[in-house]
């Protein structure tokens, strides 16, 4: 077994011999396996919440600046010309920075609205599978936007509560399916879960499954 | 936040990782056996005690307790040198205990490497191997839920009571679950974005900026 491949990842490898007792290679493994993650992270496959947040900051959000600036050219792409009073789309990291310097006003994303979130929360509670969330980074975006720009977002506290409720329901489903995955001795959890965000899997640490799961 | 190095984990199934500390410690566990033929001049290494003077040979058929790494090395299919028996926790009596309720067993006392050692025992040809493998698997499955739940819900508590009855592999799982939980809570509180000195550097003993005079 290649030591480098095993470094950091935690494997539970239990082989089960085939029922006829023949000691050949007809064995099945049960393993709890870590998903691939960005290189250089702590264990091949798991991601910390802080890393998930870093990736979330690349998402685009609309702001209304109060200054003017020509188009700026960055390695990752261009950020459009800024004119006071005209909405423009920028990545979240820039939006937060401008907001902290009081140079813009944030416009909440369209899914960050009380009725929509209530709908999503109710649907999550009804269904056994994971409902598709409006953004793969809804947890991080909620935390960032509500921490730095809660004055621009109407009913911020309710939104925070709704997102937390949805999150709790999803995590409970994740734990339940992790448990039944192990009980049923699946070789891989090839189960489709809708879109399970990386953030949820980072919380479970090593208990996470490979991404795609078919409805349990 | 990130660790300074990645330790090599234990091996999977019947294989051992040569560089893994867990595997090295695990293979030090002893198992009972018998000498199938006379082993000349090995009484000092394998013998039971002061009865045999040094330099004597181990007579055929005498009972030995040898560590796993030695047993694996001396074991061969013609079985001329040594024959190994199962330790008692992998035998029939304990197997029924595990199948009755695996949650109450103190796996740490039973040899802290129950799963790893049991997987290595499958290397020896033994007619009970399928049952042993099945028992190990079922034990893990029944204990998994409790480990996952307790590790994900014990925040900032003393976990020694929860961890006391787990074997080493389960403890590693528990630690991973705790880490996930702590990282999440730390992120929620906003501490994840605070810059702290790395644990490696703190040990250097360099004088801090504020301590310098002049």
Helices B92-100 and B129-153 sit at what angle, rounded to 10 degrees? 40
- Chain A residues in contact with B138 by the CB 8 A cut-off are none
Kindly indicate the confidence band of residue B35, based on its pLDDT and cuts at 50, 70 and 90. confident
Architecture per CATH, A111-198? Up-down Bundle (1.20)
User: Which among A12, A15, A50 is the nearest to B169, CB-wise?
Assistant: A12
Q: How many angstroms separate the Cα of A12 from the Cα of each of A164, A206, A209, B170?
A: 32, 11, 13, 9
Q: Which fold has domain B87-194?
A: Methane Monooxygenase Hydroxylase; Chain G, domain 1 (1.20.58)
Among B3, B6, B119, B126, the strongest candidate for a mutation testing the A interface, having the largest count of A CBs within 10 A, is: B6
Judged by average pLDDT, the poorest of A1-15, A138-152, B66-80, B98-112 is A1-15
Taking 90 as the threshold, does the pLDDT of residue B189 lie above it? no
User: Which among B6, B18, B134 is the nearest to A7, CB-wise?
Assistant: B6
Among A2, A8, A9, A13, the strongest candidate for a mutation testing the B interface, having the largest count of B CBs within 10 A, is: A13
- Chain B residues in contact with A53 by the CB 8 A cut-off are 187, 192-193
User: Which among B1, B9, B18 is the nearest to A50, CB-wise?
Assistant: B1
pLDDT single digits (tens) B145-185? 999 999 998 888 888 888 998 999 999 999 999 998 998 99
- Listed by start position, the domains of chain A span 1-47+200-216, 57-107, 111-198
Q: Does B164 touch chain A (CB under 8 A)?
A: no
Kindly indicate the confidence band of residue B97, based on its pLDDT and cuts at 50, 70 and 90. very high
Distance CA B186, CA B192 (A): 6
| A148, closest residue in chain B (CA to CA) | B190
Q: Does A147 touch chain B (CB under 8 A)?
A: yes
pLDDT attached to residue A1: 33
CA-wise closest residue to A18 among B115, B15, B133 = B133
pLDDT single digits (tens) A82-95? 999 999 999 999 99
pLDDT attached to residue B209: 67
Q: Are A49 and A38 in contact (CB under 8 A)?
A: no
Across the interface, do A175 and B152 touch by the CB < 8 Å criterion? yes
pLDDT single digits (tens) A203-215? 665 454 322 222 2
Across the interface, do A13 and B119 touch by the CB < 8 Å criterion? yes
Among A15, A45, A139, the strongest candidate for a mutation testing the B interface, having the largest count of B CBs within 10 A, is: A15
CATH of domain A57-107: 3.40.5.50
Q: Which residue has the tokens 């208990």?
A: A207
Cα Rg of chain B, angstroms: 23
Burial class (CB in 10 A: 0-12, 13-18, 19+), A88: middle
Number of helices and strands in chain A (H, E): 7, 7
Q: What is the pTM of this model?
A: 0.75
pLDDT attached to residue A203: 60
pLDDT attached to residue B213: 58
Q: At CA B132, angle to CA B128 and CA B135, rounded to 5?
A: 140
* Minimal C-alpha gap between A4 and chain B (Å): 7
Q: B1-85 and B87-194: same fold? A: yes
* Minimal C-alpha gap between B145 and chain A (Å): 6
User: Which among B17, B177, B179 is the nearest to A6, CB-wise?
Assistant: B17
Q: Are A48 and B1 in contact (CB under 8 A)?
A: yes
Distance CA B119, CA B136 (A): 8
Q: At CA A192, angle to CA A122 and CA B179, rounded to 5?
A: 80
Residues of chain B with pLDDT > 70, as a percent, come to 89
Q: Which of A31-40, A50-59, B199-208 has the highest mean pLDDT?
A: A50-59
CATH of domain B1-85: 1.20.58.2050
Tokens of B41: 């001049």
Q: Does B145 touch chain A (CB under 8 A)?
A: yes
pLDDT single digits (tens) A100-154? 999 999 999 999 999 999 999 999 999 988 889 998 899 999 999 999 999 999 9
| B189, closest residue in chain A (CA to CA) | A143
For residue B39, the 8-state DSSP code is B
- Listed by start position, the domains of chain B span 1-85, 87-194
Q: Are B142 and B154 in contact (CB under 8 A)?
A: no
Taking 60 as the threshold, does the pLDDT of residue B16 lie above it? yes
- Chain A residues in contact with B18 by the CB 8 A cut-off are 3
pLDDT attached to residue A107: 94
pLDDT, greater one: A197 or A96: A96
pLDDT, greater one: B155 or B5: B155
pLDDT attached to residue B212: 59
Residues of chain B with pLDDT > 90, as a percent, come to 19
ipTM of the complex: 0.73
Kindly indicate the confidence band of residue A69, based on its pLDDT and cuts at 50, 70 and 90. very high
Q: Does A94 touch chain B (CB under 8 A)?
A: no
Q: At CA A115, angle to CA A201 and CA A58, rounded to 5?
A: 45
């Amino acid at each position: 077994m290649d030591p480098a491949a095993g470094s950091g990842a935690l494997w539970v490898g239990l082989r089960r011999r085939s029922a006829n007792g023949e000691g050949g290679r007809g064995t099945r493994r049960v393993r709890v396996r870590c998903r691939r993650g960005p290189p250089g992270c702590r264990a091949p496959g798991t991601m910390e919440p802080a890393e998930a947040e870093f990736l979330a900051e690349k998402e685009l959000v609309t702001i209304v600046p109060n200054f003017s600036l020509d188009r700026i050219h960055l390695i990752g792409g261009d950020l459009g010309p800024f004119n006071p009073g005209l909405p423009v789309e920028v990545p979240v990291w820039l939006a937060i920075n401008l907001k902290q310097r009081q140079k813009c006003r944030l416009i909440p994303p369209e899914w960050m609205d009380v009725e929509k979130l209530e709908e999503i929360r109710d649907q999550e509670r009804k269904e056994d599978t994971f409902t598709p969330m409006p953004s793969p980074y809804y947890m991080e975006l909620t935390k960032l936007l509500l921490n730095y720009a809660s004055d621009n977002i109407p009913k911020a506290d309710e939104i925070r509560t709704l997102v937390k409720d949805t999150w709790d329901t999803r995590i409970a489903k994740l734990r339940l399916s992790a448990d039944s995955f192990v009980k049923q001795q699946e070789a891989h959890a090839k189960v489709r879960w809708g879109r399970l965000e990386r953030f949820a899997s980072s919380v479970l640490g090593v208990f996470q499954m490979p991404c795609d799961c078919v409805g349990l | 936040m990130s660790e300074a190095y990645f330790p090599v984990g234990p091996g999977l199934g019947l294989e051992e990782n040569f560089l893994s500390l867990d595997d090295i410690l695990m293979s030090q566990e002893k198992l009972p056996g018998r000498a199938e033929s006379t082993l000349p001049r090995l009484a000092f290494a394998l013998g039971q005690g002061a009865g045999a003077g040094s330099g004597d040979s181990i007579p055929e058929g005498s009972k030995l307790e040898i560590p796993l790494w030695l047993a694996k090395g001396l074991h061969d299919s013609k079985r001329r040198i040594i024959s190994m028996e199962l330790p008692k926790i992998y035998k029939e009596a304990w197997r029924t205990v595990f199948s009755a309720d695996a949650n109450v067993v103190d796996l740490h006392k039973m040899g802290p490497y129950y799963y790893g050692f049991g997987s290595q025992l499958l290397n020896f040809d033994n007619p009970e191997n399928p049952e042993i493998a099945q028992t190990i698997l079922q034990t893990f499955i029944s204990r998994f839920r409790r480990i996952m739940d307790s590790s994900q819900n014990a925040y900032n508590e003393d976990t020694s009571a929860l961890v006391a009855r787990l074997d080493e592999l389960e403890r590693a799982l528990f630690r991973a679950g705790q880490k996930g939980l702590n990282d999440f809570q730390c992120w929620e509180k906003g501490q994840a974005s605070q810059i702290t000195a790395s644990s490696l550097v703190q040990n250097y003993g360099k004088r801090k900026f504020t301590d310098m005079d002049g």
